[in-house]
Chains A and B, each alone.
Chain A
Amino acid sequence: MSRDNKVVATLSDAIRRSGLKDGMCVSFHHHLREGDRVLNLVLDECARLGIKNLKVNASALMACHRPILKRIKDGTVSHIECNYMHKAVGGPISKGLLESEVIFRSHGGRPAALTRGESVIDVAFIAASTADRAGNCNGREGKAAFGSIGYAMPDAEMADHVVIMTDHLAKYPLSTASIDERWVDSVVVVDSIGDPEKIMSGTTRITRDPVGLLIADYAAKAILASGLLIDGFSFQTGAGGISLAVAHYLGALMREEKITGSFASGGITGTLVDLHEEGLFEKLLDVQCFDRDAVASIGKNAMHREISASTYASPASKSAVVDHLDVVILGATEIDTNFNVNVHTDSNGIIMGGSGGHSDTAAGSNLSIIVAPLMRARLPLIVDRVSTISTPGSDVDLLVTQFGMACHPDNDELRLRLLDANLPVFSMEALKDKAESLTGIPVRRLPEGRRVASVISRDGVLLDTIKSRV
């Protein structure tokens, strides 16, 4: 193949050219979230070509990737590494569908594992909404624009072979090459890499639930009381309804106190774009766009910067964005009396999520705040020991619920500041008692079968294991 034109006729040709064989590892990113078509397309083609026992290393497996279950059953896929797994895939995995253990990493731990050689990608299949014939590509332009392509950048740099898959071939040279040609082996043009309308899945709107808003209001007041809300403040929040409401209330406080933040980072939403465009945050550092507003912004706002997963959160980098974070707002499925947080499994121990950037930002930030209702469907949030440790309690500073907040015992300065601001501060045990006084103490029946997944910390050590339902 000429170095001028790397376009191959079909996906099948690209796979053959890559030298992909039984037992190798293929990688994918999830920037198109629930609209992604590329992972299923590639695995279907691999199955057609008779390739077996592949390891799939995906930054996330969403519900739309449910067809991977078929590929596990037919032997095409035998190993999985990912940072998040939707319950549509996680449920069957928890029942023991996959013989090998799933390796869960974090968004920062994944590129770190590649850097350290703990994880190896043979062929990276990278969805790009636009690419030129040499493989320069991005996620900003084209009919399926999804914004930042940050999670795929380490794959492009570290995979042995890189295939760019696009549905929009642009003229050489592409003006913005988020991934540039020096990493790319071949380019495949397909009908559609996915549906960008499905990037925004479910929760990327500010909650209207009054209890959620109360939690968010407490969290914003806690940030103000922490003393960190000064000029140059940096902030990250997820795309959950309560997290977005925290950003909304925080914006009001920053307006009132005339504070300009230096940056907001992470998965970027329209809510953060609004704060940036209003001048409340000077820059946005974007590893992933969570909604269409963020996608539009990265294309037009000069200070909305795209960053790689390594720059975002890798502990193997000499420093990363998370190391400069003042405050991060995070969710939790469960939290225990030692402040360990679970975002991997549900109350029955079934896989339904993953760390994403949870453990990275909790570790890097000055103040990590967990926001969650104290009860969900009559189940208390706080338990003696979480069913899965996703983020160690030593990296968590504060839990905020509608019944008040609990401060990590090692952060007494924060506790005193919150009390001084007249905020309702309790011990974790007191909040647990409160919840149990309303719900009773539920009998937990956690899975006790064989190990189906390992949660690897961002530093590469085993944090916890997940077992199958017997």
Chain B
Amino acid sequence: MKRSLLFIPGNRPNMIQNGLVLPADALIFDLEDSVLEEEKDAARTLVASALSSLDFGLKELVVRINEMSSPHALKDIEAVVPAGCESILLPKTEHSDDILELDRWLDTVEQASGIPPGSTSLILLIETALGVEKAFELAKASRRVKALALGAEDLAADLGCERTGEGTEILYSRTRLVIAARAAGVEVFDTPFTDTYDEQGCFLDTVFAKKLGFDGKLSISPHHLAPIHKAFTPSQEALENALEVQQAMQEAQREGRGAVALRGRMIDMPVLKQAERVIQWAKAARMLKGEADDESR
């Protein structure tokens, strides 16, 4: 479960080192927007070196490569995949052909590096009108695709609309992406909150995204990790209820039943599914003792 995916500029050694300790569920080392054209090579080397030499614990390691149309994308893949990158974040995804080509590149690089074939996942960053329209098709383009993610700043520019605090202008895109991801059987991550110091605003934005069905949220600031995690942390009451549901369903299944009554309420598979989601969030928030999801001891 990835509640938070934190962008780290690929050309900033100190920030990369901070990634060792910041409590993000996933780190996205950025080789695209945060790196100037003349620094692309140095950043690629730095990120590959960090991936291969530093122990980031159980955090998922993602790299945002440059656009497929750029001269950097293949070099990015060739450097970071052998170094230990687990997922590629593909920017401005619009065409299935790009995904298929990336798929082939990954096949080659994985084979050459002795990495199990198909083990590098793809997260598709949807940040254009065309991308939103084709979200389901893109999500189904490769078995490597494990998630869609929304990039609302570029999307707003493409739509020609103004980005607002309440986010009305991206509501359709958000719900469309959730539906496309669910239909394709992949996860879906919300757009970053952009006001670095407005932690309460980030919390409320994340609560809303969670209500829409997002599994996690991209983050451009370490200051947003706490509010994002807080938004994805269930109440103690919700957790106890979920554990009760899980236990009741386990007992029902042992007895060969698909549904069971719990304090007058009918419990079945959809209810169990929701309960398991709550339990996963609780585990991520270390609410369940001995089941911390990171390297703490």
Contacts and interface: CB of A to CB of B under 8 A. Distances in A.
Contacts of A424: 296-297
Nearest to A425: B297
Interface string B5-34: 000000000000110111100000000000
Contact of B20 (A208, A210, A403, A423): A403
Interface string B194-232: 000100000000000000000000000011000000000
A403 B294 CA distance: 13
Q: Is the interface of A mostly helix, strand, loop or mixed?
A: mixed
Contacts of A425: 297
Nearest to B15: A210
Given A422-B286, A422-B289, A210 B296 contact: no
Contact of B18 (A210, A422, A423): A210
Nearest to A403: B21
B296 A422 contact: yes
Which 7 A-B pairs have CB atoms at the shortest separation, nearest pair first? A210-B222, A402-B21, A424-B296, A211-B18, A403-B21, A214-B21, A422-B286
A210 B20 CA distance: 12
B233 to A, nearest CB: 14
A198 to B, nearest CB: 27
A41 interface: no
A416 interface: no
A422 B222 CA distance: 22
A409 to B, nearest CB: 18
B22 A210 contact: yes
A422 B22 contact: no
Given A210-B22, A424-B297, 11 more contacts: A208-B223, A210-B18, A210-B222, A211-B18, A211-B21, A211-B22, A214-B21, A214-B23, A438-B17, A438-B20, A438-B54
12 contacts: A208-B223, A210-B22, A210-B222, A210-B223, A211-B18, A211-B22, A214-B22, A375-B17, A404-B296, A422-B296, A424-B297, A425-B297
Q: Is the interface of B mostly helix, strand, loop or mixed?
A: loop
Interface string A200-214: 000000001011011
Nearest to B197: A208
Interface residues of B, number: 15
A207 to B, nearest CB: 11
A424 B23 CA distance: 13
Nearest to A402: B21
A321 to B, nearest CB: 34
A213 B292 CA distance: 21
Interface of B: 17-18, 20-23, 54, 197, 222-223, 286, 289, 292, 296-297
A107 B6 CA distance: 44
Contacts of A404: 296
A209 to B, nearest CB: 9
Interface in A422-456: 422-425, 438
Contacts of B289: 422
Given A210-B22, A210-B223, A214-B22, A422 B17 contact: no
Nearest to B297: A424
Nearest to B292: A422
Interface in A124-171: none
Contacts of B297: 424-425
Contacts of A423: 296
B239 to A, nearest CB: 16
Contacts of A210: 18, 22, 222-223
Contacts of B22: 210-211, 214
Nearest to B18: A211
B45 to A, nearest CB: 18
Interface string A176-218: 0000000000000000000000000000000010110110000
Interface string A364-408: 000000000001000000000000000000000000001110000
A375 B197 CA distance: 25
A422 B290 CA distance: 8
A438 B14 CA distance: 11
A210 B17 CA distance: 12
Nearest to B222: A210
Interface string A255-269: 000000000000000
Contacts of B54: 438
Nearest to B23: A214
A468 to B, nearest CB: 33
A215 to B, nearest CB: 9
Q: Among B17, B20, B21, B289, which residue has the most Cβ atoms of chain A within 10 A?
A: B21
